Amino acid sequence: MSSRRAAFIVMTILLLVFAYDASAQLTVTLGADNSTIYYSVSSVTPPDTSYCVTAIVIDGVRAGATGNAPPCAMTPAISGFLTCHTLGPHTISAEAYNPSLQYFQIGQPQTVVVSAVPSFCNNLLGGHLNFDINDNVPASDREVLLSNTHVGPDGIPDTPYPHYQAFLAKDKQIPVDLRIIYNGAQTSGITVTMSVIDPPDPAPYVAGGSGTSLPPACLSLSHSNDNIGPLAKLTGADVTDNANGTYTVTSGANGAIETVLQLDNAAVAGDNYRVTATATFPDGSVVTANSGVITAWKRVFLEKRAMFRRGVTLASDAPIGVTHITIPNAPISSRAGTKREYFANGNYVMLLHAPGFGTTKTPGSFYSNIYQVAAKPHAFTVKAPWPTPATGTVQISGTTVVGTGTHFNSQVNVDDVIDVPNTVGGTDSRVVVSIADNTHLTVNFPFTFSASNLSFFVGDPKLIVGNAYFRLTLDRKLTEAYVCEPLAPDTSGDITLNDGVARVGSNIMPVSAADYFDVTDTSALTGGAEAQWTNPFPASFTEYVILPAAGLPLPHEILTNVIATQRFIDKWFTFPVAIQSGLDPMRIGSYKYPSPPNQQALLVADCDEQDVSNSGADGFLSDQIPSERASILDRATVEHDVSVSGNPLSGANVDTVLRRTTVHELTHQWWPNGMLFGANAFDHCHEVAYDSQAPYPPSGTPPPGLRFCLMSNPDGGPMMPDPSNPSLFDINMVEYYYRYAYTSYHAIEIGPATAPTCHSEYLAIRQKADPWTP
């Protein structure tokens, strides 16, 4: 074991070991042959019933295990022997672990010294070069990330690097260590010549394989030396670069050789490497060994957010202490047809606040609370003059208002807004919190100046003459303030940026899943590179890390305007950092929220129309503001479509459709097809997937095995008979196939027939720069 690995394991043990039951028994003995190590581990009582596997560990590496499915009242006992280990001391320990890979140590580690090599141990006799990373190591441990962009303030990555890369915890670097064994002994002083080679790309969309139907231009991409980036280099304190593609290094104490495989800055995901080592041993034998294949990967972080199913944004500020809120007279949900939903007496409502556009966000700057509507909603239309002049004059000081000739009891109500002219030609508005009599009232917040003999007005200046509103009376006073977005007056059309009011089923937290739109099946985003057909990003050597839930669902909005949609996301998602790019900080367009490197946003929303039957999409890409991107899923649209007879999605499973749509819309963020299929295709294609034997365009009844590329656009797609009424030839075939959630991309030939090249979304994604920003 290399020193850095040993140190890492010690650290890991210090951090992770669940100190427990030191009295439990681990028995270790050395056999009469001075080679075989016998062990016996007794059952112990675990801290909980999830610890059902017992493992024996030699020199920090698990060498055997036995176990059962949880629950377990006792850990299983295990006994056996270990053989063919190198000469010298070995540390044996035992541990029990659970499905979350939490573990605790059983008994005390023990050391034995092996002093003989049995004749049957071919792995020890003669010369051997043993790489830590070999092809038996899980492929996921052999990944090397090009970047790992989420790092905490302490410099530690929020998500660990893959197993071996974690020893160094650096981008584009992975330790490649080997041990020199000669006749059972870890042997120093052996000179080894090493080099890095580039094995063929194994991805099925270039290497082919069972069930695939690849054009020659794609098949020709897989061969030795097919990496896009240059070969990686070997570095290390004892490594000599011979400047001819080879490196020389001599084994040190315990036969250890430590090197680092350093990927080039131009490396791309999917580039792969193998390290070879050759040495001449004292008996004259020349031995060559290879490391396992090491593959470069991208890591992308995804902030996924849900949206409340019902609600609106505030029409005016709702300061602390008031018992009402004002909202637009508008439906609180999308609908099919004419049925409109509104808030009603008795509803529970959650008020949601996000920090103002352009300000720095912290977790504490988002807050929310649940109230109950305590009366029938009051509908009103603002009539001119507004605000309305009131009788008399007032003297103001702090929160006190003293009137002369006023009729507070008849002209003013608690929660009304009163307005007085301020000293700079504008208006100060305050909310009335109590009325003592016709000449005395108090307001919610002190005036910024004191004056007397002021005319005053009653009415909320945030409300627009001619517009219709609801006033909702709540069951108690607000204990926190909810506000309109300061940079977006109502008439701008950006009311979407105001704080939100959502209808929820109860006042119990957490909110019920029935209260919001979400997708819970994100399985297509993750998985190993081998997971073809269903997991397109891992197949593109791109790992998606779905960030922990960042907060409550977003307020309900019908996202009809693309730019307003992006600003809504900018305001409510946690990741954006505002950059002021415009001159005036008082203008909303002065701020940009560039997408962070290797991070994407996904919002599961309602619909892009108030009436879902008018919806134009089940998802879309928000990309109208340069350098900002987000993917939006219209779950209400899909829920509607699956319920309509004659719709291509009729009867389909909503989550299945959305699983596919999730990948489709996130793929758009990579823009893998660009303008290949024309400017009006907007990154869509019109191909069948590469594993399909079907010709394009298909016709008539769908041919067997048809798999449309995930990025196919149904617009103008081939038509097929309606399964519910075969006499009608009116179902869009591409859209119909959305129901099956196939998520494979195409691989096609493009370019002139004399020199065709291969194009695939898989290739396009993995070859994007890393870190990637739009």
DSSP 3-state assignment of 594? coil
Quick one: 44 or 578, whose CB is closer to other proteins?
578
Quick one: 542 or 647, whose CB is closer to other proteins?
647
Interactions with other proteins, residue window 555-584 (CB under 8 A)? 558, 560-563, 581-584
Handedness of CA 644, 649, 650, 656 (dihedral sign): negative
DSSP 3-state assignment of 371? strand
* Closest separation in Å from C-beta 519 to other proteins: 17
Residues 6+ apart with CB under 8 A from 130: 178, 179, 180, 181, 289
Are the C-beta atoms of 299 and 147 separated by less than 8 Å? yes
The reply to whether 593 sits near other proteins by the rule CB under 8 A is no
Number of residues that bind other proteins (CB under 8 A): 99
Listed ranges 2-10, 126-134, 701-709, 727-735: which one lies at the site for other proteins (CB under 8 A):
727-735
The reply to whether 674 sits near other proteins by the rule CB under 8 A is no
As given in the structure block, the two tokens for residue 581 are: 């790019």
Interactions with other proteins, residue window 677-696 (CB under 8 A)? 682-684
User: Which of 318, 321, 378, 311 is closest to 350 using CA atoms?
Assistant: 311
Q: Which DSSP string corresponds to 696-739?
A: SS--SSPPTT--B-TTB--TTPPEE-BTTBTT---EEHHHHGGG
Phi then psi dihedrals of residue 96, to 5 deg? -120, 140
* Closest separation in Å from C-beta 15 to other proteins: 46
Interactions with other proteins, residue window 372-431 (CB under 8 A)? 375-381, 384-389, 419, 421, 425-427, 429
Are the C-beta atoms of 401 and 440 separated by less than 8 Å? yes
The DSSP element (H or E) to which 666 belongs, if any, is: helix 654-670
* Closest separation in Å from C-beta 430 to other proteins: 12
In whole angstroms, give the CA distance from residue 484 to residue 442: 23
* Closest separation in Å from C-beta 507 to other proteins: 21
Q: Which DSSP string corresponds to 5-23?
A: HHHHHHHHHHHH-----TT
* Residue of the chain from 135, 678, 715, 757 that contacts other proteins (CB under 8 A): 715
Quick one: 285 or 345, whose CB is closer to other proteins?
345
The alpha carbons of the chain give a radius of gyration, in whole angstroms, of 34
* Closest separation in Å from C-beta 727 to other proteins: 11
The reply to whether 486 sits near other proteins by the rule CB under 8 A is yes
Cross-strand pairs, 44: none
Listed ranges 9-17, 433-441, 527-535, 612-620: which one lies at the site for other proteins (CB under 8 A):
612-620
Interactions with other proteins, residue window 435-474 (CB under 8 A)? 455, 457, 459, 461-462, 464-468, 470
The reply to whether 475 sits near other proteins by the rule CB under 8 A is no
Three-state SS letters, 25-52: CEEEEECCCCCCEEEEECCCCCCCCCCC
The DSSP element (H or E) to which 664 belongs, if any, is: helix 654-670
Quick one: 60 or 392, whose CB is closer to other proteins?
392
* Closest separation in Å from C-beta 724 to other proteins: 12
* Burial environment of residue 547 by CB neighbours within 10 A (0 to 12, 13 to 18, 19 or more): middle
Quick one: 422 or 574, whose CB is closer to other proteins?
422
Quick one: 84 or 719, whose CB is closer to other proteins?
719
Question: CA 196, 529, 667, 558: dihedral to nearest 10 degrees?
Answer: -140
* Closest separation in Å from C-beta 614 to other proteins: 5
Listed ranges 84-92, 122-130, 191-199, 730-738: which one lies at the site for other proteins (CB under 8 A):
730-738
Quick one: 499 or 691, whose CB is closer to other proteins?
499
Interactions with other proteins, residue window 636-665 (CB under 8 A)? 637, 641, 646-648
In whole angstroms, give the CA distance from residue 254 to residue 189: 10
* Closest separation in Å from C-beta 674 to other proteins: 12
As given in the structure block, the two tokens for residue 427 are: 């208006």
User: Which of 420, 345, 340 is closest to 377 using CA atoms?
Assistant: 345
Interactions with other proteins, residue window 304-343 (CB under 8 A)? 328-331, 342
Quick one: 494 or 543, whose CB is closer to other proteins?
494
In whole angstroms, give the CA distance from residue 568 to residue 267: 36
Handedness of CA 703, 705, 709, 714 (dihedral sign): positive
In whole angstroms, give the CA distance from residue 147 to residue 770: 7
Listed ranges 125-133, 160-168, 699-707, 728-736: which one lies at the site for other proteins (CB under 8 A):
728-736
* Closest separation in Å from C-beta 769 to other proteins: 19
Interactions with other proteins, residue window 488-547 (CB under 8 A)? 488-496
Quick one: 344 or 509, whose CB is closer to other proteins?
344
* Residue of the chain from 49, 235, 345, 523 that contacts other proteins (CB under 8 A): 345
* Closest separation in Å from C-beta 740 to other proteins: 16
Quick one: 47 or 461, whose CB is closer to other proteins?
461
* Burial environment of residue 753 by CB neighbours within 10 A (0 to 12, 13 to 18, 19 or more): exposed
* Residue of the chain from 48, 449, 730, 769 that contacts other proteins (CB under 8 A): 730
